[in-house]
Amino acid sequence: MNTPAVLVFFKQALGMAVDWAGYGYAALVASGGVMGYVKAGSVPSLAAGLLFGGLAGFGAYQMSQNPQNIWVSLGNLTGWSCEGIDFDFELVQVTPKKALGMAVDWAGYGYAALVASGGVMGYVKAGSVPSLAAGLLFGGLAGFGAYQMSQNPQNIWVSLATSGTLAALMGKRFYNSRKIMPAGIVAGASILMLAKLGIGVLQKPQDS
């Protein structure tokens, strides 16, 4: 009998050195942004808290997988050091060269920025906090999907799920409201992203 995927996940999680300090820091940063919005109504504080809290959480995840993969966490904590990590400054010189030689998914990053800005515009125009939260959430997921595809063009699943979900949700919203922004533009961009991903999948057998 096959072991359920959930049990496998928890076994792997228990067996690895989880960066609990990193996850706690991420929660602290995100909660600070939320508190800034609740107490002072500061939208920039909320957006920054969610953005950098998400980045810190992603950095904690990376360090849980590989304790030497400190780059995202280091970007959030300038000057922070962790005992037991061998910081090789030569890697700092190599990493930009690898990044320049890598096929960056600029379309994916642009789509992520469009989704996030749509959520911000929804809040600015109508004061919709759900719109802001959804824009930042799906924008972050789209950005993470673009990062994954920049690392490996075959790793399309996060981008596919994000663009597919938004195409359905925003397409229905555009059909009901007939409003071009943000529903129509985000729905159209999501459909274009799905087409881009589909073309990439169809071209794989030809390239091999």
pLDDT digits (tens, 9 = 90+) for 43-81: 777 778 778 877 877 777 777 777 777 766 665 544 333
Torsion of CA 182, 185, 186, 190, to 10 degrees: 170
State pLDDT tens for residues 81-108: 334 434 343 333 334 434 444 577 888 9
61 lies in the same domain as 110:
no
53 lies in the same domain as 94:
no
106 lies in the same domain as 208:
yes
57 lies in the same domain as 98:
no
State the Cα angle at 139 between 133 and 140, rounded to 5°. Answer: 90
Please report whether residue 47 resides in a domain: yes
62 lies in the same domain as 144:
no
Please report whether residue 3 resides in a domain: no
Domain that holds residue 134: 89-208
Average pLDDT score, the chain: 74
Please report whether residue 1 resides in a domain: no
Q: Phi and psi for 31 in degrees, rounded to 5? A: -65, -30
Please report whether residue 77 resides in a domain: no
Q: Phi and psi for 196 in degrees, rounded to 5? A: -60, -45
Top mean pLDDT of 56-65, 130-139, 195-204 is at 130-139
94 lies in the same domain as 192:
yes
Please report whether residue 73 resides in a domain: no
Please report whether residue 4 resides in a domain: no
Q: For residues 177 and 162, what is the distance between their CA atoms, to the nearest angstrom?
A: 22
State pLDDT tens for residues 159-186: 999 999 999 999 998 999 888 877 889 9
What length does the chain have?
208
| pLDDT for res 194 | 93
61 lies in the same domain as 109:
no
| pLDDT for res 83 | 40
Please report whether residue 94 resides in a domain: yes
27 lies in the same domain as 112:
no
Please report whether residue 100 resides in a domain: yes
Number of domains in the chain: 2
**DSSP of 46-79:** HHHHHHHHHHHHHHHHHHHH-TT--HHHHHHSTT
Q: The whole model's pTM is what?
A: 0.53
185 lies in the same domain as 100:
yes
